[in-house]
């Protein structure tokens, strides 16, 4: 088969390309360049010029062709602009999930399918695909980031290392002497380039001081440094004193107010998802929702479907439910779909 591999310059995608070549497929490495300037060495990000260079070196070692697409403008329009707009309106976006849908996974696969007539696009995600269904990986599961990818796009995606552990991946890379075998995983939002979120957002959003108000008593407890600096569920760094622990429970961007309250004010029994992406049919039992990457899945009582919207009723209350984050729904380990928490 003719398979393109999304090469990020990291160990996961490099080993994925190696495994597919060993299986006898016609493999080509494809790398996306999102910006031209180098990132600080301590910034744990991907898709930098250094990563493009690493991907090219790996392809040379494996003896496969390598192609680089300069998608800087596309990435800015579909991911960075979305990210900034979300924060301006009081949302807390998940740019990696958006990127997987609109740029580097679903859209890249569609683009290559049309332009290069590939059979599949493979990635280095830790995701299991069995019988056409997307399942959680046994370690370092990244299926959460596939929740917004349309079902038709998932049909021509493959994940060669989904059944492996990170240690097994690194051992293969060391065995075949890949120079990225010990490369540190990317973790930060790539376009922050090592900057703090506050410093990055301050370039685009005016951080105006405002009131911190108790959600129940309506009493002003102090001043915040800009509503966009605060996250739902945040407890530390508020700069206020109270007789009980307080958390950020709501933000009003238009009035420039941060509302705080005791932990019980964080509890949500219903979560609404907009622009819901349905991958599989819902089940009556054993459904769960995951509202952040690496967060504990929460059992679902039932769901109500509306046009482009899903109401999720929970068996137990959730905390730290932030507008703009992705809610991914599972039946046991099978990904059923996802949407944006609204």
pLDDT category at 82 given cuts 50, 70, 90 is very high
Q: How far is CA 138 from CA 87, 142, 336, in A?
A: 33, 10, 18
Catalytic residues: 99, 190
pLDDT category at 307 given cuts 50, 70, 90 is confident
The alpha carbon of residue 116 and the mean position of all alpha carbons in its chain are separated, in whole angstroms, by: 27
- Please give the structure tokens belonging to residue 281: 């049919």
The alpha carbon of residue 202 and the mean position of all alpha carbons in its chain are separated, in whole angstroms, by: 22
pTM for the model stands at 0.92
Among 248, 249, 228, which residue's Cα sits nearest to residue 238? 248
pLDDT category at 342 given cuts 50, 70, 90 is very high
Q: Say if residue 46's pLDDT is above 60.
A: no
Which of 20-29, 186-195, 240-249 is predicted least confidently? Answer: 186-195
Q: Which residues contact 79 (CB under 8 A, 6 or more apart)?
A: 95, 98, 99, 102, 103, 191
What domains does the chain contain, in order, with CATH numbers?
A: 2-192 (3.40.50.620), 206-265 (2.30.30.280), 267-341 (2.40.30.10)
Q: pLDDT value at position 91?
A: 92
Q: Which residues contact 282 (CB under 8 A, 6 or more apart)?
A: 303, 329, 331, 336
- Provide, rounded to the nearest whole percent, the portion of the chain with pLDDT above 70: 96
Residue-wise pLDDT tens digits, 202-246: 899 998 999 999 999 999 999 999 998 898 999 999 999 899 999
Q: pLDDT value at position 70?
A: 92
- Please give the structure tokens belonging to residue 211: 């009131």
Q: At what angle do helices 11-22 and 49-62 cross, to 10 degrees?
A: 20
Asked if residue 120 lies in contact with residue 157, where contact means CB atoms within 8 angstroms, the answer is yes
- Please give the structure tokens belonging to residue 88: 């301006």
- Mean pLDDT taken over the chain: 92
- Provide, rounded to the nearest whole percent, the portion of the chain with pLDDT above 90: 80
Q: Which residues contact 87 (CB under 8 A, 6 or more apart)?
A: 93, 201, 205, 228
- Please give the structure tokens belonging to residue 21: 């070549």
């Amino acid at each position: 088969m003719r398979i393109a591999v999304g090469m990020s310059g990291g160990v996961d995608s490099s080993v994925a390309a190696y495994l597919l070549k060993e299986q006898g497929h016609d493999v080509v490495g494809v790398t996306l360049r999102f910006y031209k300037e180098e990132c600080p060495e301590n910034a744990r990000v991907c898709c930098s010029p250094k990563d493009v260079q690493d991907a090219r070196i790996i392809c040379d070692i494996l003896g496969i062709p390598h192609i680089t697409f300069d998608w800087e403008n596309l990435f800015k329009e579909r991911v960075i602009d979305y990210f900034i707009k979300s924060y301006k309106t009081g949302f807390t976006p998940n740019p990696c999930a958006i990127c997987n849908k609109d740029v580097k996974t679903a859209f890249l696969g569609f683009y290559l399918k049309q332009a290069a007539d590939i059979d599949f696009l493979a990635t280095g995600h830790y995701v299991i695909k069995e019988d056409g269904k997307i399942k959680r990986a046994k370690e370092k599961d990244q299926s959460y980031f596939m929740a917004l990818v349309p079902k038709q796009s998932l049909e021509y995606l493959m994940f060669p290392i989904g059944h492996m552990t990170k240690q097994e991946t690194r051992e293969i890379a060391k065995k075949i002497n890949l120079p990225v075998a010990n490369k540190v995983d990317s973790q930060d939002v790539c376009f922050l380039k090592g900057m703090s979120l506050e410093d990055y957002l301050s370039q685009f959003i005016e951080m105006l001081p405002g009131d911190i108000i108790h959600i129940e008593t309506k009493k002003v407890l102090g001043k915040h440094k800009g509503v966009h600096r605060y996250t739902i569920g945040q407890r530390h760094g508020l700069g206020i004193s109270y007789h009980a622990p307080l958390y950020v429970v709501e933000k009003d961007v238009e009035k420039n107010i941060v509302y705080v309250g005791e932990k019980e004010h964080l509890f949500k029994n219903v979560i609404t998802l907009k622009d819901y992406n349905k991958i599989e049919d819902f089940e009556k039992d054993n459904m769960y929702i995951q509202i952040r990457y690496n967060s504990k899945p929460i059992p679902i009582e039932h769901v109500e479907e509306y046009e482009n919207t899903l109401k999720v009723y929970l068996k137990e209350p959730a905390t730290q439910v932030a507008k703009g984050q992705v809610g991914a729904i599972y039946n046991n380990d099978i990904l059923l779909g996802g949407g944006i928490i609204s």
